Chains A and B, each alone.
Chain A
Amino acid sequence: DFNERCAQCSEVNWGLTDGGRFYCRSCHSVTERTREVVNTDFISNTRIQTISKGLRKQEKNDGGCEWYVCEGFQLVLKKQAEALEALGVCPQMKDEILCNFWRRYLQKSKQAYCKRPAGETVKALSVCDGSTDVDSEPETPSLLHLSLSESEGDLQTDCSFVSSSSKVSESTSVCSGSVDGSLYLMKNQKEKLRMTMPMTLSFCYMALLWLREPMTLSDLLRFVVEGHIPYLNVFQHFPEQMKLCGLDLKIFCVESWPMYEEVYTKMLELAAFLDLPRFPDITDSCFLHPDMLCMKYLMEANLPDELHNWTCRVVKKISIGEADFLTLVPGNKSTRKVKYDVLAAAVIVVVLKLLFLLDDHYEWLLSDFAEERNKNNKEDGPYFEYKKWYKVIKCSLDVEQKKMDEERAKYLWRCEKPLFYSAEKKSKVLKRRQMVVNLQNQFGKLSGSVRPAEKPNPASFQLSWSEENADGSCFHGHSLKGILQEKCGVLTAVNPDYWLCTVKLCNEKLCGHPAHYKEVDFPQSYHFVLRLFSFLLRIQPSYIHDEVCLIEHKLFNKKLCKKPKFNPGLRK
């Protein structure tokens, strides 16, 4: 509490004004000191600060208020957490985990919860204390060299940049609705891990991972694209008083789908930045454990349940089921970080290669044998026929892919809430928006009886197969007997061969990937299998291919290390 003597009357008799400033009850003079507020509420207008600041102006001409960029992000995270909760994630995620992560981030990036909020090149108003370390000479930021994407060409011409050596309350002019929007975008923020929209998803995923929730990153991103988690146009949920314009748009407006790699990499950076300890162990009872995920993906890919034994065997053999391997330890640069979904998919691909070879010959041969056997034997359960499976899956995949392609074409990026860079542009933007709505109505009526695009219900499984279907299009219960044999009491594959995706792995640090996938270099069956999982996970086939290469190299490590003679066509 404040115990200094009043400058006017030397009394120590302080009260708090509505604005949070201390005033002397004896002589009624008001100081510039504000009370330290540690506000854990997730309310939009909290600006968590501990240093003397001027009174927040609640009113500006247009009914807006001052707000900082991190408040905006806080809101975004809140909305995302609520959406996740609606999807079934435990409430702990929102109320504890995410909240704490965020607070810690604000602290570390010196935006709040610390003595010196960063980015404040602005002189605070006269502080009684006088001994602040606030930069006395703010550098006049040169904002003209902001990196602008080609899609926002107009920003450069629309905004007039004002050097913010003036007071805080006056610098909110044409540049941005937020107080520190322009500062936010300055380039030298790298060390502090500047917050971006994709990073909000990194936060979410990090929290999900901490809680070991049954949602992979690819699931999360898919929900985002399908609209179940606010991301695109999330700013329309900002309260009325938080006006967005100018550079805020560059910060909060998203014009592309979030990329798996980007979100994942940022998550790792974030975890390290926040100095988080080792995450809770991923054990074999966790959803994210490869044994579990493999089971899910096998079901989704309509493959026989029996294959699960094989995925577990591979997982065990190369020790990727160990908690130490699977659990995230932030900052530890030596261990390779695990992408659980990609890993599980890759394991399945490897198993398929082990059993079916997938060289565009052998799998069809095996399938013919199975077909023969199935024709002659109808009483016992059917043997798995690769050919049949291929036809069923290809058909479904093509249909789903076509749907997805059309959805991409019909994706709507804009929302009701209009955006404008500056007040002058406002009327033009609103007129445009009105015209767009009119035209959409006009042509919408001519579209025929097309139902308005509805959000698909959020589903964990994108493809589902039921054994009740009489047409035999579900392969879960099919047997692998035809392709297995017993040797020395151990079940092994009839297939004696294996081909490696790559003989030598690239140095990831140099070229970014352990391998470089080109469709033409590989069998079509292999490509098909990659395509299947690429669709399910919504990532490029090359990512899965990378993981497959790594797994193979672990699996055949001994044989690979045997120099000098090495034969890429291995015998297992």
Chain B
Amino acid sequence: SSRDHKLNFKKSKEVCLSYIQDAMLQKQWKRAAEFLTFYIESLEKDYSREYMGPSEIIWRIGTEVLCHHSQSSMKEFNSFMEQMKTLGVKRYLKVCLEHTFRLLCNGLIDEAYQNLSLAESWRYGEQTVIQDKEMKLIQAYRGLLDYYRWSKQKNILLEQGQDGFEDLSVEQEMHSCFRKAVVNLKEIIKIPGVWDQFVKCYVDLLEFYGDHNEARQVLNEYAYNSKFPANPNAHVYLYQFLKRHGESKKSLISALKILHDIAPSHELMIDFNTMLQKSKKRKKRRLGLEVIFAALDYAGCKENAKAWSCLARQVKQIVISEKHLDWIKVEWKSRKDWWPAFHFSRYLAKRNWQENESLSYEKALVAGILLGKDCKYFKYVSHQGCKAQAKRFRILKKFVNKHNPVYLRISG
């Protein structure tokens, strides 16, 4: 029980730790620092056999306190981190890495770079082998910072070019950063994982120096290698690359197809639908409809006028052609129970009309087709629109009225 009048060293430090944790959760940094002061002596009894021993606890808690405490400075933080590095050799590289992150968060890029370089040169017998993963990360981040430096030099060069002035040393520096960067970036993205930032930077470098093939290779690997975890961004990067290089619609579409499977609400789905709608192939157009409906299933696109306009356009086109109404029927079947409340409530009608007239216009068209001219949404918006004497709403009203029977066939 907590009212125990027994106390030994171990229990005493456990209790102390719980006070620290409470203080931290309540953001009482002074109090956390106070209790941490009493916890610190457990370092003298650290046998490093537990899963998380005192030295790791002090490192992590101390970092948080120093980062949040109002009176703490970067200098103090650095000195603390240096002490933590000497505390546990098994953790050395991890501490270096975390130190670097904090420096970066505070905008101290050069210090971070120095830190990484130092860590890279660390050797400690078999520990170097054991901490191989951390070492790779350190090299990868240094590569990233090399890229950053390259990027800076590049900008300087461009500016100078504009001024008609050229500095060879800047160019040389730029190339040297490039060489350093690619070595490390190339290495890290070989390992299965999520390396978005690294991939982007690497591809940027490759594109600049004209190695498009390598870039495409890298992006394909990143997107399609099954060893790598499913990552929507990988497909986005690939798509953007292909678009930049004017690849065929076919390859663009195939790049986005998987994105639709894994991230149906992604904003690129709008572009995807636009491409598919224009396709001559029936299957593609069908897919387009599926894609845009799926995107609007999610709250993210709810107020996206562009998305609605895509759906509206396609729906309108289908209704006018009177072909493939069954497509709409199929898509609507699983949605008719909840889309009305989700998108077409009277409340939303009011709000959309107030906030975004174009949005309400597009939505009203869709609502009118799917739910008929008597549905709440369409009635309200078209009434408001006509009252405001906006021409397009009058046209809209006419259109929906004309095609009203369609809704009966859709809702089946």
Contact = CB atoms under 8 A, between A and B. Distances in A.
Contact of B71 (A151, A440, A446): A446
B83 A151 contact: no
Interface in B62-85: 62, 65-66, 69, 71-72, 76, 79-80, 83
A405 B14 CA distance: 12
A446 B8 contact: no
B40 A405 contact: no
A406 B19 contact: yes
A446 B3 contact: no
A440 B72 CA distance: 15
B213 to A, nearest CB: 54
A255 B8 contact: yes
Interface in A522-555: 531, 534, 538-541
B5 A443 contact: no
B19 A446 contact: no
Interface string B1-17: 01111111110100110
Contacts of A450: 30, 34
Contact of B80 (A409, A432, A442): A442
A410 B40 CA distance: 11
Given A438-B83, A446-B30, A409 B72 contact: no
A489 to B, nearest CB: 44
B24 interface: no
Given A256-B9, A257-B7, A446-B29, A436 B43 contact: yes
Given A411-B12, A448-B34, A436 B41 contact: yes
Interface string A403-426: 001101111111000000000000
Given A408-B12, A410-B16, A411-B12, A448 B5 contact: no
B38 A439 contact: no
Contact of A538 (B5, B33, B41): B5
A267 B41 CA distance: 33
Nearest to A543: B5
Contact of B30 (A401, A447, A539): A447
Contact of A412 (B8, B29, B38): B38
Nearest to B38: A410
A447 B34 contact: yes
A331 B30 CA distance: 56
A237 B62 CA distance: 33
Interface in A429-478: 429, 432-433, 435-436, 438-440, 442-448, 450
A429 B5 CA distance: 31
Contacts of A541: 3
A154 B5 contact: no
A539 B1 CA distance: 12
Contacts of A151: 8-10, 45
Given A259-B6, A439-B58, A534-B3, A413 B69 contact: no
B91 to A, nearest CB: 15
Chain B interface SS verdict (over half): helix
A130 interface: no
Contacts of B80: 439, 442
A256 B6 CA distance: 8
Interface residues of B, number: 43
A533 to B, nearest CB: 12
A439 B62 contact: yes
B310 interface: no
Given A409-B12, A409-B15, A410-B38, A154 B7 contact: no
A436 B7 contact: no
B6 A409 contact: no
A410 B62 CA distance: 17
B30 A448 contact: yes
Nearest to A438: B83
Given A446-B29, A446-B30, A447-B37, A540 B5 contact: yes
B300 to A, nearest CB: 43
Contact of A409 (B16, B47, B86): B16
Contacts of B33: 443-444, 446-448
A442 B16 contact: no
B35 interface: yes
A409 B43 contact: no
B62 A411 contact: no
A257 B40 contact: no
Contacts of A408: 7, 12, 15
B215 interface: no
A154 B47 contact: yes
A512 interface: no
B83 A439 contact: yes
B232 to A, nearest CB: 43
Q: Name, among B8, B33, B41, the residue most crowded by chain A CB atoms within 10 Å (CB to CB).
A: B41
A414 B44 contact: yes
Contacts of A440: 37, 40-41
B298 to A, nearest CB: 46
Given A406-B19, A446-B29, A435 B43 contact: yes
B87 interface: yes
Contacts of A381: none
A153 interface: yes
Nearest to A539: B5
Nearest to B20: A409
A498 to B, nearest CB: 27
Given A256-B9, A448-B30, A435 B37 contact: no
Given A432-B43, A433-B44, A411 B69 contact: no
Interface in A311-326: none
A444 B31 CA distance: 10
Contacts of B76: 442
A379 B63 CA distance: 64
Contacts of B87: 435
B269 interface: no
B36 interface: yes
B8 A436 contact: no
A444 B30 CA distance: 9
B283 interface: no
B60 to A, nearest CB: 14
Contacts of B44: 414, 429, 432-433, 436
Contacts of B34: 443, 447-448, 450
Contacts of A256: 6-9
A336 to B, nearest CB: 23
Given A151-B10, A409-B19, A538-B5, A436 B69 contact: no
Interface string B34-56: 11111011011101010000000
A412 B2 contact: no
Contacts of A409: 12, 15-16, 18-19, 35, 38
Nearest to A437: B40
Contacts of A534: 3, 5
Contacts of B71: 445-446
Contacts of A447: 30-31, 33-34, 37
Interface in A373-415: 401, 405-406, 408-414
Nearest to A253: B9
A446 B58 contact: no
A405 B65 contact: no
Interface in B242-264: none
Interface string A249-267: 0000001110110000000
Ranked nearest first, the 7 interchain pairs of A and B with the lowest CB-CB distance are A256-B8, A447-B34, A446-B33, A448-B30, A409-B16, A255-B9, A410-B38
13 contacts: A256-B9, A401-B3, A409-B15, A411-B38, A412-B38, A435-B83, A435-B86, A435-B87, A443-B40, A447-B30, A447-B33, A448-B33, A534-B3
Given A256-B9, A411-B12, 15 more contacts: A151-B10, A257-B6, A408-B7, A409-B12, A409-B16, A409-B38, A410-B35, A410-B38, A411-B7, A432-B43, A435-B83, A443-B40, A446-B29, A446-B72, A447-B34
Interface of B: 2-10, 12, 15-16, 18-19, 29-31, 33-38, 40-41, 43-45, 47, 49, 58, 62, 65-66, 69, 71-72, 76, 79-80, 83, 86-87
